[in-house]
Amino acid sequence: MCIIGPMATKKSTKTAKTTTAPKSVAAKTSQVSAKSSPKTATKKTVAASVKKVEPQSHHETKQQVKLKKSFVKYIVLVVVIVVVGALIYFSRSLFVAAVVNGQPISRLDVVKETEKQSGKQVVDNLVRNALIEQEAKKQNVTVSEQEIDTEIKKIEDQLKKQGQNFDQVLQMQGMTKNDLRKLIKLDKLVGKIVGKDIKISDNDVNKYIEDNKEMLPKNLKDSDLKNQVRDQLKQQVLNKKVSAWLADLQKKANIQYFVQY
């Protein structure tokens, strides 16, 4: 009995030491884990908060961009409206001919009415002018600006002698200086093409003066009167030749009319 007792005590002591050791290790492990867990939790919390903050700031940026785009579109729209309004105001004469007690009369109505009254004549004149210019280009016939200026000076001098103002006469005829220059150019082209062979003799001039002396001006010199009569007779012959010449051009030309008057 005495021998067994001490041996048992030693064994139990060793066993006790063996069983208590794992507890101390577990305790240390739990302490280490307890110490490390706050840091890990803090890192996770910060990461989570960053993830939550980032999408919110990104969403706010998108809203700001949308607001800026909307503002820019609004400004552009306002500018376009102002520009279009200004163009309509300053170019209103292109669309409106007159306003009667607030009721506008459009230029389209004027054009329609003008076409009814003289549309055929206007088209015929434009066709005639085109034929003259084309034929002059084909024959290499030109009229210089100096020739036109000289003819305008003659007209001005004649009107002054008659006590008339050049600009007022043009206005009464519904013409501008540019319109007159075009007419003179066409007349000169026709004269060079058709009238180059026209000759008026002195006998023709004297006979016309004798037959029409009651209708001719009395305040002109004899030389000036003869020159005026010569030009008048030449113009009469030219008109006849031009009519036949234009009729021949129209027969040969390919003219398509899309509007019938």
Radius of gyration of the chain from its Cα atoms, rounded to whole angstroms: 54
Q: Is the pLDDT of residue 259 over 60?
A: yes
Q: Answer for the pair 54, 61: CB distance below 8 angstroms, yes or no.
A: no
pLDDT, mean of residues 171-196: 91
CA 20-23-28 angle, 5° bins:
130
Q: Where are the domains of the chain?
A: 194-261
pLDDT, position 134: 95
pLDDT, position 86: 61
CA–CA distance, 141 with 138 (Å, rounded to integer): 8
Q: Which carries the bigger pLDDT value, residue 59 or residue 177?
A: 177
CA–CA distance, 224 with 260 (Å, rounded to integer): 47
Q: What tens digit of pLDDT does each residue of 186-212 get?
A: 999 999 999 888 888 999 999 988 888
Q: What tens digit of pLDDT does each residue of 21-71 get?
A: 444 444 444 444 444 444 444 445 444 444 444 444 455 576 776 776 777
Q: How many CB atoms lie within 10 A of CB 116?
A: 10
Verdict on whether the full-model pTM lies above 0.85: no
Q: Answer for the pair 169, 159: CB distance below 8 angstroms, yes or no.
A: yes
CA–CA distance, 234 with 239 (Å, rounded to integer): 9
Token representation of residue 43: 């890192």
pLDDT, position 118: 87
Q: What tens digit of pLDDT does each residue of 94-118 get?
A: 678 888 988 888 888 888 888 888 8
What does residue 201 show for φ and ψ, rounded to 5 degrees? Answer: -80, 165
